Structure 1
Amino acid sequence: MLLGWGFGQGRHMPSTTPKGLFAMINPRGWGSKLPAGIVPLAPRRRLKPALRQRRIENIGLPMTLGRIGSLEVRLAETARDVKKAQKLRYQVFYEEMAAIPDALSLISRRDRDDYDTLCDHLLVIDHDAPTKLGKPGGRVVGTYRLLRQDVAERHGGFYSAAEYAIEPLISAHPGRRFLELGRSCVLPAYRNKRTVELLWHGIWTYVLHHKIDVMLGCASLEGTDPSRLALPLAFLHHHAAAEGEWRVKAVPERYVSMNRIAKEGIDVKRALHALPPLIKGYLRLGATFGDGAVVDHQFGTTDVLVVLPVEKISARYVDHFGAGAERHAA
């Protein structure tokens, strides 16, 4: 799947926006005043039905989810925004790393799949950085893809279900709302605390707005030879495995054992050093990991499933971002 910057992916086509819904939002037209807190859709901008649907579902979220200096985090608003995220993903996954593009991705120079039409796309934009063409307006330097359970269930389920048997997990928690995170990447020059913190501030704002109870998705270690990843895989298996009601197992046909070194033989310091930064970040937040890894040959990675109930997030991180996500609010 992805290298250490990401979680989850997706598929299938979205449903169209219900007829008349925009009139219900603002029956008096673009020029009229909306109730406080409601952000109107941009005038004269033709959006695809899926993007219109996403924007309707996110009414009430601020346009800017957070800001640190010249960096802003927000959701993609247009098809052009989504294309910028896809181009960034292509640059990181295919040009920098070892992913193998299909014909469509190779021609378009974008990492794309059907799930892009269903998901919300979180963007970090550096407003002080020119675009590739040297024009002002800022550049997308980081992205995350977000897929809520209610959307996934209308269109065939979560991407992670192709690698992990997550349906029993979801069925065991009928009153909880799940969110799949994926396709995460950041440009090399921005792989620092400030950018990652802003991404997570955006996710936290989104989680609070949509009343998400559980986050999950596939995080990745670089390489497709599990024997070379024995130390970090064994560490996650012995020290951070999801248990009881949160345990999830890789699908049988793709299951790769993570129990590759006995617990007493693990050098914890070396194991932590071998983990990608994102997986270490999930550990600090309080995440646990599924049973079994999955090799993703297209992306040149070995995936592990991250399970993070919101109630398990370390209190110090909740305090850091603020119970209402006010720390980096614009």
Structure 2
Amino acid sequence: MTIAFEIGRYRARLAATPDDLAACQRLRHACFFGHAGLDRDAFDARCRHLMIEDAAGRLVAAARILLIGQGADLAQSYAAQFYDLSGLTAQPGPLLELGRFCIAADVLDADVVRVAWGALAGIVDEAGVQTLFGCTSFTGTDPARYGAAFARLAAQHQGPAPLRPGIKAREVVALNGQGDGTAPLPSLLRSYLAMGGWVGDHAVVDRQMNTLHVFTCLDIAAVPPARARALRAVMGAR
């Protein structure tokens, strides 16, 4: 699995050294916990780590990716800790789990997300990935903040019932739109949905990470052709 390209003032590449991994872990900790530290777990050693750097070499976004050969091997995934994925085990492979996606808090340039998705498109093409999935995080653990967002997901973006993950985590919240909060959908989730992705029917309350997260899945064959061409065009830009 290889990826390295530049567009505008940003460069995408995969972590290649222990120092690269530590930089990703520092950025993740700052984004998810709000202060300095290293966000690390046992999955880091099994994953590849996507890095987006600016022209000065500063890491501005990161994500980790785990390639899974077939649906029967989904128990290897990070998401399988929190969701019963038995409905997806018949999915053909390869599958790619996207996790720990984060962008530095002071970086507001939409091109960062565009470059990240362009890099992921290259990885998907290279590995022949058929399904992209992961846990998409909402900041904090109060579901009332996301009443409108959860109601929208429940009404418009639920996945097929046979494929939706079952409940496995100890603490979950149904996506029934309780509360009047109007906090927006995370940018990563908006990208998934724009490409035809879907979500499960509940959010997991992850108090260790101080997030609510929903299972998110994208059938690569369902991505609109125009969107797929646009993502692949990012890879060709210099």
- Shared topology, TM-score over 0.5? yes
Q: How many residues align?
A: 238
In the aligned structure 1, how far is the partner of 2:109 from the partner of 2:63?
16
1:176 deviates by 2.3
Q: Hey, which of these two has a bigger chunk of strand by percent?
A: 2
Could you say which residue in structure 1 is the equivalent of 2:86?
167
In the aligned structure 2, how far is the partner of 1:326 from the partner of 1:199?
10
**Equivalent of 1:191 in 88, 108, 113:** 108
Comparing both chains, which one has the higher relative contact order based on Cα–Cα distances under 8 Å and sequence gaps of 6 or more?
A: 1
Contact 2:122/2:232 (<8 A) preserved = no
Q: 1:79 to 1:193 in 2, by over 3 A?
A: same
Could you say which residue in structure 2 is the equivalent of 1:281?
191
- Correspondence 1:202 to 2:112: no
Could you say which residue in structure 2 is the equivalent of 1:157?
76
**Equivalent of 2:19 in 80, 100, 125:** 80
User: Structure 1 length normalisation: TM-score?
Assistant: 0.66
**SS state at 1:322 partner:** helix
Q: Deviations over 1:235-276 (max 9, x none)?
A: 101110001443223326333211235xxxx9xxx96x7222
Larger radius of gyration: 1
Question: Structure 2 unaligned runs (5+)?
Answer: none
Contact 1:219/1:305 (<8 A) preserved = yes
- RMSD in angstroms over aligned alpha carbons? 2.6
Contact 1:250/1:293 (<8 A) preserved = no
Q: Deviations over 1:43-76 (max 9, x none)?
A: xxxxxxxxxxxxxxx2xx35x1x31123110111
Q: 1:226 to 1:95 in 2, by over 3 A?
A: closer
The code of the aligned residue for 1:172 comes to: A
In the aligned structure 2, how far is the partner of 1:122 from the partner of 1:192?
18
**SS state at 1:195 partner:** helix
**Equivalent of 1:115 in 30, 38, 43:** 43
The code of the aligned residue for 1:204 comes to: A
- Correspondence 1:142 to 2:53: no
User: Structure 2 length normalisation: TM-score?
Assistant: 0.89
Question: Structure 1 unaligned runs (5+)?
Answer: 1-57, 97-105, 130-137
**Equivalent of 1:222 in 109, 114, 139:** 139
Q: Deviations over 1:212-256 (max 9, x none)?
A: 100111101122122332221121011100014432233263332
Contact 2:71/2:95 (<8 A) preserved = no
Percent identity of paired positions between Structure 1 and Structure 2: 29
**SS state at 1:289 partner:** strand
Could you say which residue in structure 1 is the equivalent of 2:154?
237
